[in-house]
Chains A and B, each alone.
Chain A
């Protein structure tokens, strides 16, 4: 079965090509082709997983050679797949959640005339994402990296007849370019220093490389990860990316693509092992983004944007864990998997709410939906409990471990990182509860033409499955450290370090903060009335509502200077370069003008000139020199 892993990529890719080429005649049944392709990929992945589970833990790493890709002198690169526990984890996440979301989309996009195209893009995304996680070299990973970027762009701008959606797509694409540049530079550095781009060669060479080299590569990889995973300072695109259809937000901008940055960091573990400074930067960025995302999430009234801020914050947790080194790698991936389930589930729940509420996204117009949408309420509630980290739901097992790991270390670092993680847990509890209560509890604040109703079974069944995963997957994987052991061949064995605080203290503090957050949210948004329009608020709230002015900052720090720099360059080009050329040419033209005057057209003048020249020649000849 492992030899067939190339089917994981080929089937969705072929399906995407088929759906795009088939045209309108496939409109009626094309979406089922997409679902089948995704389901096939899941089955292939499942087969591979089962085979892998039957093997000895130390022989679970398989290299699947595909073809010789770039046989060029100093760079001899083969295209191949690396099937190991880490990539298999992603394969299962992507194909399982992806298939559920495909099924969900069949109903969600039922009335969209372009449903076939939507499924083609979804399949394209699945293929690219699987290529990203299965690639055995940075270059092949980059192909998938760009592929998911393309799919993301196409899907954010799926309703591109609305200019602001098209702009959002462009924004995501352009911000991602910044990150991609980081990956390209990192690859360039690898090729320069190590002469290799495949994981095996790079990691082998990384052992003997200098700290400076590894730090440079690590920071560039971090830039790439920040771009793809919406981490500070490249986070601005994620909120606008919610312009895409909700299943897209669930699959790409919550469960899978945005976690590719975490995958990149974890996959590059050998590089970070030799670059502690880069590693600390990863953790710091993760910690900062988790707070930033949580603060933004507290102020958003748009349910999807609040979830997007939450995604940003949760990925911040993963980055924080990934930045802690071997201690955190497994927990980063663990949280990634559980997050993939509960966040996808909540996004699908949000989609279900929108489906029933005429695409309304303003939470201030929701309220009391628990009676109208019982299934959605229950499934969303399970996701809510999971993200809060309430035991025994999934989030508890993964997030609590990250908070504990953040407290490991020496000096001020554990206190700062751990403190951020701890506070983040409280903030998470507040904004998620706010979202949950504003949507499902309190009084109905619906507009007149809204008649909330439960979604069809095609939508609720995937939500239920994901809710079950949100509830029990963490427990299942955490028992006996199953997941950490499973990933051990890749992430390496982590020595157990004692946090600076006793574990029970951390756990109790976390739960207390969570309880506090929920209580405050209940007082403010559950028990009390919620105004239908956003009330005037403090400067901090306004800043959070405006994504911490990140667009303004970007405009002020990058766009304006960039514009001015461009103008300066244009002016310099016109004044200096063109000026020099023009002046030179003008000088010659004036010289020509003055010389032209000797060409007066008078034959006798010419004759005189000839005679003068003749006299001079004769003088020279006769006198034997000048």
Chain B
């Protein structure tokens, strides 16, 4: 028998978040709610004597499947808000009525039957489940393995975008750059020829003049650069001797 308190807690943390499926506007909120539902279901499995399945539920659903959903949501844009206004005529009310009717009907039917509960509850521990899986249901496991491989390959194929043009070689990329008027060589790195290697210090050209564009644009906007003038002054100081550092 099951502890009623535990049941009601499980019922609460499954049904209430599940309603977010119908009312939440943001898909991320829905996904997080479903994670909660999955955890609740895992708890229900453990309560019902299926600890292995409960753990698998947590690992697979909350850990893998729902995270996969979140990844996809990231890909397609978290901000996609959905207009809840119904566009198909009658869809909302017929759908709600049918779904609610189905639920009510099932509840009423199931509520009316009484099934004798076994006095010897089995405990679905991993060793018990493993023996059954790899003895009685070994063929099914094999088939499921094929199914998973096929699904993985299928997902790869579906998300694969074929290259329409041949890949551009480095030579072509460089040629285009030079033709567009870019520097044939790299930009000078900041801090080169500076007194101390730092990003905020412009590089010096061979004549000792600072090169402005060697400093990051961001630092300039933030006014976090140094002019390098003081280094030039020091450079021009006659008292300075070679090897004085």
* Residues of A participating in the B interface, judged by any CB pair closer than 8 Å: 600, 602, 604-605, 608, 611-612, 614-615, 618-619, 622
Contact = CB atoms under 8 A, between A and B. Distances in A.
Interface residues of B, number: 11
Contact of B105 (A602, A605, A608, A618): A618
Contacts, number: 29
B74 interface: no
Contact of A615 (B88, B91, B101, B109): B101
Contact of A611 (B99, B105, B106, B109): B99
A-B CB proximity, top 6 nearest = A615-B102, A608-B95, A611-B98, A602-B88, A612-B98, A622-B109
A74 B166 CA distance: 82
Given A600-B88, A615-B102, A622-B105, 20 more contacts: A602-B88, A604-B88, A604-B91, A605-B88, A605-B91, A608-B91, A608-B94, A608-B98, A611-B95, A611-B98, A611-B99, A611-B102, A614-B102, A615-B98, A615-B101, A618-B102, A618-B105, A618-B106, A619-B105, A622-B109
A618 to B, nearest CB: 7
A608 B95 CA distance: 6
Contacts of B94: 608, 612
A605 B89 CA distance: 10
Nearest to B94: A608
B84 to A, nearest CB: 14
Nearest to B87: A602
Contacts of A602: 88, 91
Contacts of A622: 105, 109
Interface of B: 88, 91, 94-95, 98-99, 101-102, 105-106, 109
12 contacts: A600-B88, A604-B91, A604-B95, A611-B98, A611-B99, A612-B94, A612-B98, A614-B102, A615-B102, A615-B105, A618-B106, A619-B105
Contacts of B88: 600, 602, 604-605
B134 to A, nearest CB: 35
A602 B87 CA distance: 10
A293 to B, nearest CB: 88
A83 B109 CA distance: 104
A602 B106 CA distance: 27
The residue in A602, A608, A614, A622 that gathers the most chain B C-beta atoms within 10 A of its C-beta is A608
Nearest to A623: B109
B97 to A, nearest CB: 10
Contacts of B105: 615, 618-619, 622
Contacts of B109: 622
A618 B99 CA distance: 13
Contacts of A608: 91, 94-95, 98
B227 to A, nearest CB: 64
B105 to A, nearest CB: 7
A139 to B, nearest CB: 75
Nearest to A602: B88
A602 B95 CA distance: 14
B25 to A, nearest CB: 18
A614 B106 CA distance: 12
A597 to B, nearest CB: 12
B21 to A, nearest CB: 14
A524 to B, nearest CB: 101
Contacts of A605: 88, 91
A602 B86 CA distance: 12
A186 B105 CA distance: 83
A608 B93 CA distance: 11
A609 to B, nearest CB: 10
A145 B106 CA distance: 91
Nearest to A619: B105
Nearest to B109: A622
